[in-house]
Amino acid sequence: MINRGMYFYFIHNNIADKYLFKKNRSEKTFNYLLIGLLLFTGTKAFSASIKKLSEQAQISILIGNPSNKNLYSMFGHAGLRINDPGLAVDYVFNYNIKPASTKLAEFFQLYEKNISSELFAVHYADIEAEYRNDQRALNELLLNFSQEEKEKLWQMLMNIVQTQNVSYYDILKHNCTALPLALIEKSTTGTIRFSQEESGGSYRSYFNSCLREYPWTIFGVNISLGWATDRLINFRESFFLPRNFEEGLLSAKVIDSMGNMHPLIVHNHFLVPLSNRPSILPFFTPVLCAWLLLAVVVLLSGFEWKRNQLIRPIDAVLFAIAGVGGCYLFYIQFIVKQWYFFPNWWIFWLHPLHLLGAAVSATKRFDRVAIYYHIFNLAALSIMLIGTCFIPQYYYPAFVPLIIVIILRSIIRIRVFFNKYIHF
């Protein structure tokens, strides 16, 4: 129970910020919500009614530019700002994944079976300071809401704060844009109409567009995402990217019961201006590196073909790397089982059995076993290539030379084996 004495102690002695800013971000989560509830209620229990917003209250959506600071910020961010001078409240609410201690741990968070996200309530001043420090633009979209609609949204938000702090996280269907969009649609007294119905793209194409400055990240994304992300999505589904969400809100109209129409957003402006930093793409992109690898393998394979001898370390290294990639694809499809990973046609190209291929190809002792593996590998790749004609899964340009490398090595292996042992 929180008594009235504690409530006034926190407010009048202004110790909330002094206490909170000594905590790391994960510890702040609960504390911000706790202090928020103390500020928003003057009663003895959380279950009491929340104070109503004043006439000065404004509710807006904040859209943050992408950043390479961490994996999640590479797509931008969206939050819901409640600014009410009458209640002395200026908080930004958003669902976010619990911060990891390291970037490696953050990467593996993406592959948890059931990712959960926490509701963060952060002082707006902290958000602005962070974006200014990172030189990331922050745009504010002011909702064109009546006092009744603002209050409805506010009460729903506070109900979530008290009863539903943790939510299931889905990077495509339930990420940082989901909470603001759901509250907006439930709060408005009219019907929201967006400017268009079809987006003209797929989940994958939007990922590639958003990550064009990070070619190695695009490479990893395109290996990981399955066929399900290649279907065309509608305009509302494209809101999983904060910039698309922003575009949708700016073009949205609200139609009331009388047929009158007004814009959903009454005003938008940059709280942190756009940065003019030039984007610098790395010289050694996945596409360039893949074609360079193919060129090297072709030269070495030509030497083997002419001499009818094998350079065994080539296959040991290449198939070991492919096998590790295959274990990764097997894990995310059949262990993690997220819908956006399965089915992935590339499992016929990158499969765990490549580790066996690396082992039996490393020494002459297992040549007769290796030949069966390479015949199997050619068959699997043939199935994959034929299947993509009927089940089109996006080909990232770097995949083509890499597939040719694997095919070429199996062909060389089969040819040398037959020349040495079969003699025809």
Can you give the three-state secondary structure of 215-245, one letter per residue?
HHHHHHHHHHCCHHHHCEEECCHHHHCHHHH
pLDDT at 11: 31
- 258 and 139 within one domain: yes
- 325 and 249 within one domain: no
Please give the biggest Cα pair distance in the chain.
95
> Where residue 179 sits, what CATH number does that domain have?
3.90.1720
In a domain, 221, yes or no: no
pLDDT at 99: 66
In a domain, 54, yes or no: yes
In a domain, 210, yes or no: no
Query: Which of 212, 247, 272 delimits the end of a domain?
Result: 272
Q: Which residue has the tokens 């097997």?
A: 330
In a domain, 204, yes or no: no
The H-or-E segment that residue 361 falls in is helix 354-361
- 325 and 372 within one domain: yes
pLDDT at 364: 87
Q: Which residue has the tokens 């407010």?
A: 11
DSSP-assigned beta bridge partners for residue 270 = 139
Residue pLDDT, tens place only, 273-307: 987 766 777 889 999 999 999 999 999 999 988 88
Return the axis-axis angle of helices 399-417 and 367-387, rounded to nearest 10°. Answer: 140
pLDDT at 121: 86
In a domain, 368, yes or no: yes
pLDDT at 27: 45
pLDDT at 10: 29
What value does the CA radius of gyration of the chain take, rounded to a whole number of Å?
Answer: 28
- 146 and 37 within one domain: no
pLDDT at 255: 94
Q: Could you tell me where the DSSP H helices lie in 71-214?
A: 103-109, 124-134, 147-163, 178-187, 203-210
pLDDT at 95: 81
Question: In the chain, how many domains are there?
Answer: 3
pLDDT at 266: 96
In a domain, 344, yes or no: yes
pLDDT at 241: 95
- 55 and 42 within one domain: no
Contacts of 33 (CB under 8 A, 6+ apart): 119, 121, 161, 165
- 44 and 64 within one domain: no
- 1 and 131 within one domain: no
Domain residue limits at 127: 50-197+235-272
- 265 and 293 within one domain: no
Q: Is 53 helix (H, G, I), strand (E, B) or coil?
A: coil
pLDDT at 200: 81
Q: 43: burial class by Cβ within 10 Å (0-12, 13-18, 19+)?
A: middle
pLDDT along the chain (424 residues), means of 10: 29 32 43 50 48 94 88 87 94 80 68 76 93 93 96 91 74 90 94 85 93 91 94 93 95 91 95 80 92 96 87 94 96 90 91 94 89 91 81 89 94 84 58
Gap between the Cα atoms of 121 and 95, Å rounded = 9
Cβ atoms within 10 A of the Cβ of 405, count? Answer: 20
pLDDT at 103: 64
Cβ atoms within 10 A of the Cβ of 78, count? Answer: 26
In a domain, 319, yes or no: yes
In a domain, 203, yes or no: no
Gap between the Cα atoms of 92 and 95, Å rounded = 10
- 256 and 168 within one domain: yes
Task: Answer whether 105's CB lies under 8 Å from 135's CB.
Answer: no
- 389 and 295 within one domain: yes
Task: Answer whether 223's CB lies under 8 Å from 346's CB.
Answer: yes
- 152 and 38 within one domain: no
Gap between the Cα atoms of 72 and 175, Å rounded = 10
Residue 157, amino acid = L
- 60 and 44 within one domain: no
